[in-house]
């Protein structure tokens, strides 16, 4: 009896201990959330006790700012700029740079949920809207002076850097997209110029493959390991230059319509059937693709204006290559080549206690000289009009083909929705490899994407304004 009693008591103690630990664990996590909520509701700009409006400190202690970025290609230049700012700002503001290697968005999430958020963040088109929705960013409208409004006014874009009428970032550079081609392989196959139409692209890929297959040379490749990544750097541009929005959205009706997309896919399918695409491209990542291109094994592919830098530093190559405008559906340019990832660069944390000082730093980074040099060093292609006017072209081999020209422009942002089932890239890639009913696939995509769009609009996640007068040759209007 006594033993049973002791065992029973031990069990009770154990059970009680376990319950307390569980409660503590769960409450701990809950408490953390509560902490976040209370911190998130603090008025933006609430200054730290020691900071004054200018960011200077009464006791003479420096105002410490944290700047986080996931850009690695420009870090030496950014370090140089920050050092200069730290020495010359005159208000004792010290910026500390953190360059993330991977998982930037997740790191930012963790930082905000644990109240260790940076004061200034690098924003990209892929993360800006999500950061705004999560409440990470502070609007900068109140800081804009007339000079900045004049210089950056034409690049305030809804759902890019402006959300619900509030501005969160300013533009610096953008990425153009081009057909990247090996001039020597084109010449060897007897082709004089890069393809202007998709039919020419199919024919050229076939000729290059026929001329070089014995040496392992193929006409075309893309990083199909991620079909979305592959198509969003190729078909997106082909369509925008042909006069259609590149991600399947119809600006005129405000709905998704993948019919133009399916037209382009037919040509990709033809290249696959012709065996003009590098074998194994189905599981090819972008870097192995670049390595093969640098080795002279690929006739052409489509990609961003980051490629010249890649072939300068990451995969130095002796091949004679260039960038050219993407081909269009019928060889006619009826739209403009979309400049992507433009409109955002730096933003200020909503949780920063030093928002005035953060703006001071941001204002310095958006100075003419900084942006001009950023372009001239080839870190990105300037899209801000007054910088484009005064900056020299970067001295990087191949960059001349990627510079912003008469056929490039920014497009209004298309809504991002998550439909049930396969996304458009996977669905069309499946068709490209294994065939099927293209019409049925297009109809199914239209139905699912428009359903998801309706739901997202209902939930207030996206807003859609059909523009019946939309002109793809002037996507931002006159």
251 vs 440: CA distance, rounded Å: 23
| Torsional sign, CA 362, 366, 367, 372 | positive
478 vs 71: CA distance, rounded Å: 33
Among 61, 80, 130, 437, binds another protein (CB under 8 A): 130
Among 15, 17, 142, 367, binds another protein (CB under 8 A): 17
372 vs 413: CA distance, rounded Å: 26
Among 230, 238, 251, 381, binds another protein (CB under 8 A): 230
Among 92, 107, 156, 226, binds another protein (CB under 8 A): 226
CA 92 to mean position of chain CA atoms: 34
90 vs 436: CA distance, rounded Å: 66
382 vs 400: CA distance, rounded Å: 13
Contact flag: residue 127 with another protein (CB under 8 A): yes
Among 69, 125, 262, 306, binds another protein (CB under 8 A): 125
Tell me phi and psi for residue 408, to 5 degrees. Answer: -110, 145
Contact flag: residue 247 with another protein (CB under 8 A): yes
Contact flag: residue 101 with another protein (CB under 8 A): no
Contact flag: residue 113 with another protein (CB under 8 A): no
Among 69, 129, 159, 173, binds another protein (CB under 8 A): 129
Query: Looking only at residues 179 through 218 of this chain, which bind another protein when binding is defined by CB under 8 A?
Result: 216
Contact flag: residue 279 with another protein (CB under 8 A): yes
- Which helix (H) or strand (E) element contains residue 230? helix 227-232
Q: Which of 14-22, 114-122, 184-192, 401-409 is the region at the interface with another protein (rule: CB under 8 A)?
A: 14-22
Rounded to a whole number of angstroms, the minimum distance from the CB of residue 421 to another protein is 6
Rounded to a whole number of angstroms, the minimum distance from the CB of residue 5 to another protein is 8
**Nearer to another protein (CB atom), residue 213 or residue 252:** 213
Contact flag: residue 461 with another protein (CB under 8 A): yes
336 vs 345: CA distance, rounded Å: 23
Contact flag: residue 297 with another protein (CB under 8 A): yes
Q: Which of 40-48, 115-123, 128-136, 468-476 is the region at the interface with another protein (rule: CB under 8 A)?
A: 128-136
SS3 383: coil
Whether the Cβ atoms of residue 200 and residue 368 lie closer than 8 Å to each other: no
84 vs 94: CA distance, rounded Å: 10
**DSSP structural state of residue 221:** -
219 vs 344: CA distance, rounded Å: 36
What mask of x and - would describe binding to another protein in positions 140 to 179, judged by CB under 8 A? ----------------------------------------
SS3 63: strand
Q: Which of 64-72, 162-170, 394-402, 424-432 is the region at the interface with another protein (rule: CB under 8 A)?
A: 424-432
In 3D, which of 139, 100, 75 has the Cα closest to residue 313?
Answer: 75
The residue ranges that bind another protein (CB under 8 A) are 2-3, 6, 9-10, 13-14, 17-18, 21-22, 24-26, 28-29, 125-127, 129-130, 133-134, 216, 224-233, 247, 278-280, 282-284, 286, 288, 292, 297, 416, 418, 420-422, 425-426, 429-430, 433-434, 459, 461
């Amino acid at each position: 009896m006594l033993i049973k009693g002791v065992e029973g008591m031990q069990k009770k103690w154990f059970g009680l201990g376990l319950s307390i630990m569980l409660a503590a664990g769960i409450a701990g996590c809950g408490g953390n959330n509560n902490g976040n909520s209370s911190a998130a509701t603090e008025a933006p700009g609430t200054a730290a006790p020691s900071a004054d409006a200018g960011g200077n400190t009464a006791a003479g202690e420096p105002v410490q700012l944290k700047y986080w970025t996931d850009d690695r290609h420009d870090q030496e230049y950014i370090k140089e700029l920050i050092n200069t700012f730290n020495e010359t700002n005159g208000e004792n503001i010290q910026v500390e740079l953190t360059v993330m290697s991977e998982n930037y968005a997740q790191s930012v999430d963790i930082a905000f949920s644990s109240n260790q958020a940076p004061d200034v963040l690098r924003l990209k088109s892929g993360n800006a809207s999500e950061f705004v929705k999560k409440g990470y960013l502070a609007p900068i409208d109140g800081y804009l002076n007339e000079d900045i409004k004049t210089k950056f006014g034409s690049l305030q874009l809804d759902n890019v850097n402006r959300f619900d009428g509030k501005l969160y970032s300013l533009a610096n550079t953008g990425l153009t997209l081009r057909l990247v081609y090996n001039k020597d392989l084109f010449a060897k196959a007897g082709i004089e110029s890069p393809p202007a139409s998709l039919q020419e692209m199919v024919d050229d890929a076939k000729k290059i493959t026929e001329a070089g297959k014995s040496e392992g040379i193929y006409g075309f490749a893309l990083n199909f390991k991620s079909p979305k990544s592959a198509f969003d750097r190729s078909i997106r541009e082909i369509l925008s230059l042909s006069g259609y929005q590149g991600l399947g959205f119809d600006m005129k009706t405000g709905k998704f319509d993948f019919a133009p997309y399916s037209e382009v896919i037919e040509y990709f399918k033809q290249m696959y059937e012709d065996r003009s695409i590098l074998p194994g491209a189905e599981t090819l990542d972008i870097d192995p693709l670049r390595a093969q291109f640098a080795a002279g094994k690929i006739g052409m592919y489509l990609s961003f204006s980051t490629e010249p830098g890649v072939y300068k530093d990451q995969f130095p190559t002796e091949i004679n290559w260039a960038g050219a405008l993407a081909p269009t559906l019928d060889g006619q340019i009826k739209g403009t080549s979309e400049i992507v990832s433009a409109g955002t660069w730096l933003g200020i944390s909503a949780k920063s206690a030093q928002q005035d000082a953060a703006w001071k730093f941001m204002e310095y980074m958006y100075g003419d000289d900084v942006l001009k040099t950023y372009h001239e060093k080839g870190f990105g292609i300037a899209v801000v009009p007054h910088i484009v006017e005064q900056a020299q072209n970067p001295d990087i081999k191949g960059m001349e083909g990627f510079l912003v020209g008469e056929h490039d422009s920014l497009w209004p942002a298309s809504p991002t929705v998550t439909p049930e089932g396969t996304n458009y890239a996977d669905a069309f890639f499946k068709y490209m490899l294994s065939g099927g009913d293209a019409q049925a696939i297009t109809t199914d995509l239209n139905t699912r994407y428009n359903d998801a769009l309706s739901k997202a609009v209902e939930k207030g996640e996206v807003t859609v304004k059909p523009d019946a007068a939309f002109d793809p040759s002037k996507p931002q209007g006159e």
